[in-house]
Structure 1
């Protein structure tokens, strides 16, 4: 999360002007960093010699109501954050990314209590991105593995590896 914030703040507007083509995109990703889905904003921060640096932030909400007084309600809130390195000179690019997804979960426990938990899920990305320099439709697909830790697993240095995939479609603004 810190890497993402530093990347957004570190690049002055002058450096951002070097970015190839259009810089701002909005997209819906199914799977990927948000788990089920996420609505996202992506910005190309800078570009040089066929490489580009992009930052992304998103949001996901998922809730269920099991019905009944004892069953309770489950809620998942996620905010995917990612920094990606893009390789390619035209519309087709390799995307390599690192990020973190803060995930808030609320779910029923035995009895009538609600368990609340905040997790930070490290996420990687290896994928393909189609993005026209002049703006317009935007597509991407990628392998987005996650690691999941709870407090006990993290203290023992263990966690769960979750192989995951994402498909996205969106729009790059024509500026």
Structure 2
């Protein structure tokens, strides 16, 4: 009988620790995220996928890739142009509140808009298309729980416009921001 009691006590001691060990392994920080950002590194808006590729203490490094269509209205129609924002962000913080620091590269197709003055007014047409890009920076705040779930981010995102066919100089846009909502899994 004492052997049976000893086995029973051992089971009572080891089962809770086994169960908690399993639970802890599933409560690690999520590695993937999907989110919608208005403004931010894409300029107008973007649907993004992010992946945590490094975590050490209070610092996480996250790479993200997004997709967007930018609207370029001209007289009588709207031209939709694809944009691909890529960003590398460092999150600093351990619990729910994080500082975001990042840099990105947003490539997009730009078109020259040709305007002609006629007797009936101004006629606009789409000219040549060419590659253009932005280099955005990020300083922001991110609310994200340590486990799966929704997150919120807001940031100051100034950017440099890389010289293109139409603009021969670097242009710095100091006033720009973004807000995003997403889900970690």
Q: In which range does the TM-score fall when normalised by the shorter chain?
A: 0.7 to 0.9
Q: CA RMSD in A?
A: 2.4
Indicate the residue corresponding to 2:140 in structure 1: 127
Are 1:138 and 2:151 an aligned pair?
Answer: yes
Please show how residues 2-151 of structure 1 align to structure 2 within 5 Å.
21-64=29-72, 66=74, 68=76, 73-110=78-115, 112=125, 114-151=127-164
When residues 153 and 104 of structure 1 are mapped into structure 2, their CA distance, relative to the original with a 3 A threshold, is closer
SS in 1 for 2:106: strand
Displacement of 1:154 in angstroms is 7.8
Deviations 1:33-72 (A, max 9, x none): 111111001111111121111001101103356454xxx6
Give the distance between the partners of 1:145 and 1:83, measured in 2 at CA: 15
Contiguous gaps of at least 5 residues in structure 1: 1-16
Deviations 1:97-120 (A, max 9, x none): 011100212353246552212112
Contiguous gaps of at least 5 residues in structure 2: 1-24, 117-124
Aligned length: 150
After the TM superposition, which parts of structure 1 deviate over 2 Å for at least 4 consecutive aligned residues?
62-68, 72-76, 110-115, 149-155
| Structure (1 or 2) with the greater strand fraction | 2
Give the distance between the partners of 2:184 and 2:92, measured in 1 at CA: 18
When residues 62 and 91 of structure 1 are mapped into structure 2, their CA distance, relative to the original with a 3 A threshold, is same
